[in-house]
Amino acid sequence: MTDRTAPRTERIRVGALLPLHHSGRRAVEEIAELERAGLDTAWVPEAYGHDAVSLLGALALRTERITLGSAVLSVHSRTPALLAMTAAGLDALSEGRFVLGVGASSRGVVEGWHGVPFGRPLARTREIIAICRAVWRGERVTHDGAEFRLPSPPAAGQEPVPPLRMPGTAREIPIAVGALGPANVALAAELADEWLPAMFWPERAEKVWGDALRTGLAARAPERGPLGITATVAYGTGPDHSLLLDRSRPGTARYLGAMGTRDRNFYTRLAGRYGYGAEAAEVQRLYIEGQPDRAAAAIPEELLDGIGLVGDRHRIKDRLQAYRAAGVTTLNVLSLARGRERRASDIALLRELLEEIG
């Protein structure tokens, strides 16, 4: 899939995805330690636990070099202006190191937690990107879209309000879009600076996403530059392959079972496109019925292995070639290691191996 981006001149970057339910201050200290071990970028998720912005602000002040990103802020839970303001604030705190990651989230989170309709996430994403970039350009923002109108129309008998602009200056902050379905992936390839896929299986990426990426890139403005691909994978090193895969089972089961509804779960649909539709449906059924352990045990090992990066040094290095061939620019790893020291050494090893393959 490398024909969709500019020729690679740099190594794949090393990223870290914090757990959904992170440990606050301890997470900040650990990311600072991982920065010293060679980390290039850190991404903070948001679903229905702690918000991502608080931790990103702390990381902006505690780190010095790494890029920081949201993975992802839902297009349903914040207004476009608030997203633009938040990104500008975090970018200022980090002195130009922030990436605004946005995405649809899931119907379960949007309707079950925020209590707002899931609506039309693709249309919202497209309009949010346009509004955010207008804000950062310092414009007085006007927008007349299907999802958002700025300024909003006045009520009967009221005077219209004038359009506003954000005081001060802001650069055009990079935008990353979390996307799994074909239409959303095409949108990311057209408009975003980075695409954030989860459960990324490099050897099957072309079959699953190739057409959507080519469609989006055909509509991409040349001045946008090449599309970055930040692929999220579970990562662990060691000789016991099955043990490492077993550590990834609970998290994968949660995504297949809880991130969405029975009829609309982007992760189970992706597993089906990888060839595991029946198995993913069974995992989802067990999870929804309150049997998370059985759900985790039902995930095929081949699927876990495909969407993970696990094994000894030699296997990890061989597998990295597949990510490179798939056009990945950043490996965003969710560590399977136990203990901070081991997680730091795993990050250092990953950076070393990526430098070896170039």
The stretch 299-325 carries a mean pLDDT of 98
**Share of residues in the chain with pLDDT > 90 (%):** 89
Contact between 328 and 207 (Cβ < 8 Å): no
Q: What is the pLDDT, as a whole number, of residue 107?
A: 85
pLDDT in tens, 79-125: 999 999 999 999 999 999 999 999 999 888 888 889 999 989 999 99
Q: Write out the two tokens for 236.
A: 């662990």
Q: Is pLDDT of 9 > 80?
A: no
Close Cβ partners of 341 (under 8 Å, ≥ 6 residues apart): none
Which amino acid does the sequence have at 265? Answer: N
Q: What is the pLDDT, as a whole number, of residue 10?
A: 83
User: Which residue ranges make up each domain of the chain?
Assistant: 13-153+165-240+309-357
Q: Write out the two tokens for 225.
A: 């530059």
Q: What is the pTM of this model?
A: 0.96
User: From its phi and psi, is residue 75 left (phi > 0), alpha (psi between -120 and 50) or beta?
Assistant: alpha
Q: What is the pLDDT, as a whole number, of residue 260?
A: 84
Superfamily in which the 13-153+165-240+309-357 domain is placed by CATH: Luciferase-like domain (3.20.20.30)
Q: Write out the two tokens for 156.
A: 């009967």
Report the distance separating Cα 303 and Cα 300, nearest Å: 5
The stretch 24-34 carries a mean pLDDT of 96
Q: Any idea what the Cα angle at residue 34 is, between residues 236 and 93, rounded to 5°? A: 135
The stretch 5-25 carries a mean pLDDT of 81
* Residue (of 46, 26, 24) closest to 34 by Cα position: 26
